[in-house]
Amino acid sequence: MTSLTGDLINSEGFIRIPDTSDSQLKDNRPFDSGTAIIYQHNLNWLQKQNKRTLVNLVGFVNQAAVSQNNYGFLGITDRPTPVSPAAESQERQISWNRATALPAFGPFHVPIDHPASGDGAPTIRPLKFHLGYYNAAASAITFMIYVTTSELSPADGGFIGSSISTSTTTGYVDKEGFIYCDAPQNETAVWSSRPDGGLVTTRAVYIHVGFQLNDSSSDLRYLTITET
C-alpha cells in the first residue's frame, strides 16, 4: 500500500510559488496541471514533515527493585495482586503505580495517515523512541512503552501498540526503535476547522512507560518519542 500522504516531485522540500499579483495566479486565467502537481507535492510534503515531539524527558525514577516491592503490588489497595506477577502477560506483570511506571503521557491527538501492513485499515503514524537506562548489575532490566486510548494503564484498558526493551548488559544501555500501532477506535473531540464550519473528529492516544528493575541502583536516563 502506498503512503497516504501521496506522491512527491522530489525529496528536497516545499516548492515556493510567489503569491503576488504578478505571479501566474491571475484571476480568470486557467490553472494548469503543472501548477496543480506542485500544489499537491507541497501538501504531501507538509503532511510528511509535520511530525511532532510527543515525549521528552531526562531523569531517573530510582524506585525499589521488583524483588523488594513485588513488582509494585506491595501495599497496593486498588487492584488485586497476581499470585505470580512474573507469570502474567507483560503488561500485567507490574502494578503501574509510581514504583513501576511513570504517569501516562498525553492525550495526543493523532492523525490517521499511515498505511497498514497488508489489507488493514490505515492507522496512526509509527512512533520512534530513544530510550536510555543504566543497568547497575548484570540482572534483567525491562522497560515497557505502551500506546493506549485512555489514561488507564495497559493492564486495565488494553493497548494498541507496544515496545518491550529487556537487557542484561551492565552499564549504559541505549535503545532505539519504532512502535507500530493499530488504529484507535475512540473518537475523543470534535472541533470546527474550516471557514465553512467543517468539523474535525480527533482521536487521542496516551503513552505509558513502565519498568522492572532488579537492582535499585538501576534507572531510567532519558526518553524521547516522536511521530515518524
Partner 1 sequence: MAVSPVPKRPVPVPFTGRIVGEPVSSGHAVQWAQQLSYLNNYNVHQIVSTGFRPITGSYSGITSVGTSFAYAKSPGSKVVLVGISPGMNPDTSTFTPRTFWANAALPAGATWIGISPFDSSISSTSRLISYQDRNISRNSFYWGLVDVSNCSTAFIHDFRVDVTNSLGAATSTAGQGLATLSACEIPLAAINPLVNSQDIGVDIDWGAPGSPIYEYSPTSSLGTLGVQKALERARGEWRDHWQLCFHDDDERLPGATVAVANVATNILYRIRYEATPPLLTKRVRKLDLGDSTVQHRFRCTYRHAGTSNTNSLILNYRPLGSGLSYSTATLSLPYSTTWTTAEVDVLLPNTGSDQEVDLFFSFVSKSAGTRVFLKNIALIENPVP
Integer CA distances (angstroms), 12 to 18, 35, 114, 125, 189, in order: 18, 17, 21, 21, 35
Decide whether 126 or 139 has the Cβ nearer to partner 1.
Answer: 126
112 near 123, Cβ under 8 Å? yes
Q: How far is the CB of 189 from partner 1 (least distance, A)?
A: 6
Reply yes or no: is the peptide bond before residue 111 cis, omega within 30 of 0.
no
Neighbours of 157 (CB within 10 A): 15
111 binds partner 1 (CB under 8 A): yes
| Length of the chain in terms of residues written | 228
Decide whether 61 or 137 has the Cβ nearer to partner 1.
Answer: 61
- Only one of the segments 70-78, 82-90, 138-146, 158-166 lies at the binding site for partner 1 (rule: CB under 8 A); that segment is 70-78
Enumerate the β-bridge partners of residue 128: 178, 226
Integer CA distances (angstroms), 119 to 123, 178, 203, in order: 12, 21, 21
85 binds partner 1 (CB under 8 A): no
DSSP code per residue over 95-156: --STTTEEEEEEEEEE-EEEPPSTTPPPEEPPEEEEEEEEESSSS-EEEEEEEESSSS-HHH
Decide whether 99 or 142 has the Cβ nearer to partner 1.
Answer: 99
Q: How far is the CB of 179 from partner 1 (least distance, A)?
A: 14
Identified binder of partner 1 from the candidate list 70, 167, 170, 226, rule CB under 8 A: 226
**Contact pattern from residue 149 through residue 188 relative to partner 1, giving x for each residue in contact according to CB under 8 A and a dash for the rest:** --xxx--x---------------x-x--------------
In the range 117-136, which residues lie near partner 1 by CB under 8 A?
Answer: 122, 128, 130, 132, 134
- Only one of the segments 9-17, 85-93, 140-148, 158-166 lies at the binding site for partner 1 (rule: CB under 8 A); that segment is 9-17
- Only one of the segments 21-29, 85-93, 138-146, 158-166 lies at the binding site for partner 1 (rule: CB under 8 A); that segment is 21-29
Decide whether 72 or 142 has the Cβ nearer to partner 1.
Answer: 72
